[in-house]
Amino acid sequence: MVFGFAIGSRDETCVPIRTLTIFVIIICFAFIFAIFNFVTIIVIGHLDIIILRCLIIRFQDLNHD
C-alpha cells in the first residue's frame, strides 16, 4: 500500500496500482466470505446433529416412561 501511494504521485503508474489494490481487496473479501460461509455451514451442521441427538434422547426417555 505504501509503495503504491509512493509511486501514485505519477499519473501513468497510478491507474494500474489502484486497479491492483481494488482487485486484491475484492479477493480478500471473497476469501473471508468463503471462510465465514464454510465455518457457518460446519457450525449449523453440528448444531443440527446435536439437536437431533437431544430430541432422540428425549423421545427415548418418554418411551421408557
Share of the chain above pLDDT 90, in %: 22
Highest-scoring range by mean pLDDT, 18-22, 33-37, 39-43, 57-61: 33-37
The amino acid that residue 55 corresponds to is L
Number of domains in the chain: 1
Q: What is the pLDDT of residue 27?
A: 93
Q: What is the pLDDT of residue 1?
A: 46
Whole-number Å distance between alpha carbons of 10 and 62 = 77
Q: What is the pLDDT of residue 7?
A: 52
Instruction: Tell whether pTM > 0.75.
Output: no
Q: Averaged over 33-41, what is the pLDDT?
A: 90
Q: Quote the domain boundaries for residue 42.
A: 2-64
Q: Is the pLDDT score of 15 beyond 80?
A: no
CB 53 within 8 A of CB 59: no
* Residue carrying C-alpha cell 497510478: 14
